[in-house]
């Protein structure tokens, strides 16, 4: 009996010690909380005293609201770039971009020649039905001149509640008088998946562009895939370049289209327990994508939800990621409403891809790297890349954490020449199309660019007041010889803008892809790959070839320098 009693005493003492430790830890936690509460109260008291003294005694009278907003902005600036106070205007824009619809007229506008100008009306909208055209200048809104307005100024006046009317004055190329329009606003739907087509019909290569992740993205994408499958699509390019992201839920739903049931899509970790979440594919099912060739395109402007989708597809070996390293926004923001018009967008968690990597890029020291390394910046970046943590996909392929999603195949983008940049900055193609549409009937969809059209464009370009200055800034002389050397680009630009004017943005977009080297690298791979496995094999061969070419070039440069 003694041994059990002794054991009982030992166990009891152990439990008492554990309980005491727990009680002490709890007491310490309560002390820490009380100390923190005192710090908060003291800090708020200090802020109140400073605010009151400035408001009352500063040499110039200050707006109390401006003081508070400036103080808030200063506080949030110390946190991270994605935490911000959302004013009424910014909050409204955020809601529009994520909800995918707004009340308005149905026009895409930009500022041209000091006035808001219609780029293109959106099909089946109030503006489209009333005959608003690309190139129309909006010179008046509700009787007020719009000269010198910013794009945001015009947008805020044109948007509004469905069923309300707005009066505008239009100056149309080729017509002297101002044309009055009164347009009744309607619900305008924003396409999250604006472009989808067979980019190579013979090979059955589909192309789909996702511009952002909104409430409707997954449904739009699924509809586009079904449409392309009915046209004979056998492989797909999913273009996420320049996609800034959007809703986490939209990224989750979109990923489910390509993943199999119960595949992990992404998980988040935050300071609070409710921020620790794991998201799995549920009932959408992407079993057909386990064999069908898929390429996801990303670049340095692909962020947030784009990186969730690309990371999930890469980690589960569902598709090949091609392009350039993504932005590296691996954090989650929650929007807290503060009042009827304002909100706080606050970073509350970080997200991780299925393999466990955080792709968040710390940008706080980029300036230091640049300052310290100067001409050796490329080597410093390479060294940083070499030191990244390695993770593994389902198929045990190496992927990296700590700096965006790295593509399986790195392809440099096609860059505009100085000649092209100058023409685009001056909107020369846009202005030429205005003249063309004024004096010519609508061409056939497969129209060809004639010598006469090129000469007309040259004459118009010579007369543009700002164009010579653009070329001078780049230390380039705008001559006919230079113009003729770039004729291919001139013809493409003319076709692009005429296509936009007469057949809409999708027709124009297809023309713009003709010189997109990254897209055609993807198309070439999919033309040759009959299966997912073959796609990965071809991409690895191409990657090794590019490494050998880069090594040979570096050796040649080093030899020439010596």
Q: Catalytic site residues? A: 304, 315, 329
Beta bridge partners of 294: 236
- Sequence-ordered list of residues with C-beta below 8 angstroms from that of 103, at least 6 positions apart, any chain: 159, 160, 161, 162, 164, 185, 186, 187, 188
Of 393, 317, 320, 398, which Cα lies nearest the Cα of 355?
393
> Which letter, b or e, does each residue of 64-92 get, where b requires 16 or more Cβ atoms within 10 Å of its Cβ?
eeeeeeeeeeeebeeebeebbbbeeeebe
* β strands within 92-244, DSSP E: 101-104, 107-112, 115-121, 137-141, 144-145, 165-171, 179-184, 186-189, 195-200, 205-209, 235-239
- Sequence-ordered list of residues with C-beta below 8 angstroms from that of 267, at least 6 positions apart, any chain: 276, 277, 278, 279, 351, 352
Q: Which residue's entry shows tokens 């685009």?
A: 424
Helix pair 366-373, 377-386: axis angle to 10 deg: 130
Q: Which residue's entry shows tokens 């630009």?
A: 493
**Alpha carbon separation from 142 to 138, 139, 145, 170, 306 (Å, rounded):** 11, 10, 9, 12, 40
Distance (Å, rounded) from C-alpha 33 to C-alpha 7? Answer: 39
Neighbours of 298 (CB within 10 A): 31
User: Is residue 399 within a helix (H) or strand (E), and if so which, with residue range?
Assistant: strand 398-400
Of 341, 320, 340, which Cα lies nearest the Cα of 533?
320
Q: Which residue's entry shows tokens 């129209």?
A: 447
For the chain, state the CA radius of gyration: 29
């Amino acid at each position: 009996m003694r041994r059990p009693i002794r054991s009982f005493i030992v166990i009891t003492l152990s439990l008492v010690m554990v309980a005491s430790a727990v009680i002490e830890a709890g007491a310490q936690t309560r002390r820490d909380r009380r100390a923190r509460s005192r710090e908060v109260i003291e800090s708020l008291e200090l802020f109140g005293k400073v605010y009151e003294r400035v408001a009352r005694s500063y040499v110039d009278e200050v707006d109390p609201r401006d003081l508070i907003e400036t103080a808030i902005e200063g506080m949030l600036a110390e946190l991270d770039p994605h935490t911000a106070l959302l004013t009424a205007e910014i909050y409204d824009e955020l809601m529009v971009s994520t909800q995918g619809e707004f009340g308005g007229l149905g026009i895409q506008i930009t500022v041209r020649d000091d006035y808001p100008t219609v780029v293109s009306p959106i099909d089946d909208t109030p503006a489209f039905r009333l005959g608003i055209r690309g190139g129309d200048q909006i010179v008046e809104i509700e009787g007020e001149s719009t000269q010198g307005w910013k794009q945001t100024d015009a947008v805020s006046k044109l948007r509004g509640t469905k069923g309300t009317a707005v009066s505008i004055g239009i100056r149309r190329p080729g017509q002297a008088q101002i044309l009055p329009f009164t347009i009744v606003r309607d619900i305008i739907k924003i396409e999250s998946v604006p472009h989808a087509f067979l980019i190579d019909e013979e090979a059955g290569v589909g192309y789909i562009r996702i511009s952002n992740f909104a409430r409707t993205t997954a449904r739009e994408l699924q509809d586009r895939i079904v449409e392309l499958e009915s046209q004979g699509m056998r492989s797909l390019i999913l273009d996420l370049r320049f996609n800034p992201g959007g809703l986490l839920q939209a990224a989750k739903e979109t990923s489910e289209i390509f993943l199999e049931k119960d595949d992990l899509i992404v998980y988040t970790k935050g300071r609070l327990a409710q921020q620790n979440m794991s998201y799995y594919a549920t009932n959408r099912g992407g079993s057909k994508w386990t064999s069908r060739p898929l390429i996801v395109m990303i670049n340095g402007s692909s962020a947030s939800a784009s990186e969730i989708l690309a990371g999930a597809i890469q980690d589960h070996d569902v598709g090949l990621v091609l392009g350039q390293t993504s932005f590296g926004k691996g954090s989650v923001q929650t929007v807290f409403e503060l009042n009827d018009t304002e909100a706080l967008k606050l970073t509350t968690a970080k997200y991780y891809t299925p393999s466990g990597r955080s792709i968040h890029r710390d940008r706080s020291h980029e300036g230091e790297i640049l300052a310290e390394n100067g001409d050796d910046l490329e080597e410093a970046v390479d060294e940083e890349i070499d030191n990244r943590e390695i993770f593994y996909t389902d198929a045990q392929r190496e992927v990296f954490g700590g700096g965006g999603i790295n593509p399986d195949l790195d392809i440099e983008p096609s860059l505009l020449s100085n000649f092209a940049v100058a023409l685009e900055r001056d909107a020369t193609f846009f202005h030429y199309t205005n003249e063309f549409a004024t004096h010519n009937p609508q061409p056939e969809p497969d129209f060809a660019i004639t010598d006469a059209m090129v000469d007309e464009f040259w004459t118009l370009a010579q007369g543009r007041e700002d164009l010579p200055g653009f070329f001078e800034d780049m230390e380039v002389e705008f001559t006919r010889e230079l113009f003729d050397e770039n004729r291919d680009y001139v013809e493409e630009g003319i076709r692009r803008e005429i296509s936009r004017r007469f057949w809409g943005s999708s027709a124009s977009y297809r023309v713009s892809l003709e010189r997109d080297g990254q897209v055609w690298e993807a198309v070439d791979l999919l033309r040759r790959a009959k299966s997912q496995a073959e796609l990965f094999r071809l991409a690895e061969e191409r990657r090794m070839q590019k490494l050998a070419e880069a090594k040979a070039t570096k050796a040649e440069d080093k030899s020439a320098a010596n």
